[in-house]
């Protein structure tokens, strides 16, 4: 039996024995889960399990998979709409802008058609340019595409990532840089993807930072620090306090789990959902 088959059979058995017959409550936050963290589970199975756990959607799907969650009463909560844009090669380079705009002119309407509320974007790596120049370039690139997002009601979310451990040289590695860009673009359809795992590594001060900048945050990602594993006692973030803070701010977007589970994957996901139900 392959690892994929083993996980599939384990998932099916656990689902039959351990999942409630109806969705569990997820409190004031709309929680979802990132697809890539559960890549060994067929997407249909993951969607079925997510729905029973009480999740509202699946994060980070390609267009070909946008409609699969809808079979289970979910939605794709964050989509890939511009494959030309990657973590190292993004909006901070003017030479990329035309290709990104062309991709979004196709990808954003496609996302809207499938009721995908958000699409992901990246700053790109510094590669020797200053943060100020990169921010100005990113603003210029977003100004080219923000009207597309506004017209279709889809939010472009620039992801904040750490450059200390996982993504060396990535430019959007502090909240202040992302907020500067979002303020200058000044569109209701251009926000930040605030990844709590990455920002804990880079700057900490999570609760106050979220409170000060919630206006510019369109989406959240989770992940235990260190290691990006389960949201449990083996790591340093107080997830219940974070979740309560975000809920108290009346956040209406999605709070997506993006951790690589250790042990049985779906029980780890279920436990994370419970931890963050406030």
Q: Hey, what are 43's tokens?
A: 């997407």
pLDDT at 82: 95
pLDDT at 14: 47
Q: Hey, what are 20's tokens?
A: 């409630």
pLDDT at 243: 98
Say whether 32 sits in a helix, a strand or coil.
Answer: strand
pLDDT along the chain (278 residues), means of 10: 47 49 78 97 98 97 98 98 96 98 98 98 98 98 98 98 98 98 98 98 98 98 97 95 98 98 96 97
Residues tagged active-site: 159, 258
Cα 266 to Cα 8: distance, rounded to the nearest angstrom: 11
Q: Hey, what are 256's tokens?
A: 């997506």
Residue ranges of domains in the chain, CATH in brackets: 29-275 (3.20.20.150)
Q: How far apart are the first and last CA of the chain?
A: 40
Specify burial of residue 170 (Cβ count, 10 A radius: 0-12, 13-18, 19+).
buried
Alpha carbon distances (Å) from 190 to 143, 156, 196, 275 = 9, 5, 19, 29
C-beta atoms surrounding 156 within 10 Å: 26
Q: Is the pTM of this model over 0.85?
A: yes
pLDDT at 20: 54
Asked whether 173 and 162 are in contact (CB, 8 A), the reply is yes
DSSP code, position 215: G
pLDDT at 19: 56
Say whether 139 sits in a helix, a strand or coil.
Answer: helix
Cα 90 to Cα 112: distance, rounded to the nearest angstrom: 22
Q: Residue written as tokens 């809808």?
A: 70
CA dihedral over 264, 265, 266, 267, signed as positive or negative = positive
pLDDT at 88: 98
Cα 4 to Cα 200: distance, rounded to the nearest angstrom: 32
DSSP code, position 170: B
DSSP code, position 25: P
Asked whether 264 and 272 are in contact (CB, 8 A), the reply is no
């Amino acid at each position: 039996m392959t690892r994929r088959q083993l996980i599939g059979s384990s998932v099916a058995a656990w689902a039959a024995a351990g999942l409630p017959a109806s969705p569990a409550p997820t409190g004031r936050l709309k929680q979802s889960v990132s697809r890539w963290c559960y890549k060994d589970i067929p997407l249909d199975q993951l969607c079925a399990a997510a729905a029973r756990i009480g999740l509202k959607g699946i994060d980070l799907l390609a267009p070909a998979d946008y409609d699969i969650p809808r079979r289970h009463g979910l939605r794709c909560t964050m989509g890939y709409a511009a494959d030309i844009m990657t973590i190292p090669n993004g909006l901070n380079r003017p030479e990329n802008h035309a290709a990104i705009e062309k991709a979004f002119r196709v990808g954003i309407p496609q996302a809207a058609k499938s009721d995908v509320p958000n699409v992901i974007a990246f700053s790109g790596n510094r590669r020797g340019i200053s943060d100020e120049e990169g921010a100005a370039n990113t603003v210029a690139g977003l100004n080219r595409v923000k009207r597309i997002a506004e017209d279709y009601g889809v939010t472009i979310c620039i992801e904040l990532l750490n450059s200390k451990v996982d993504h060396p040289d990535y430019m959007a590695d502090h909240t202040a840089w992302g907020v500067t860009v979002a303020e200058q673009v000044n569109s209701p359809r251009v926000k930040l993807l605030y990844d709590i795992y990455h920002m804990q590594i880079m700057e900490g001060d999570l609760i106050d930072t979220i409170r000060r900048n919630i206006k510019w945050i369109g989406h959240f990602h989770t992940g235990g620090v260190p290691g990006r594993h389960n949201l449990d006692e083996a790591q340093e973030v107080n997830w219940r306090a974070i979740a309560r803070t975000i809920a108290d701010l009346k956040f209406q977007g999605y709070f997506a789990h993006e951790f690589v589970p250790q042990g049985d994957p779906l029980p780890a996901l279920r436990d994370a959902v419970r931890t963050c139900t406030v």
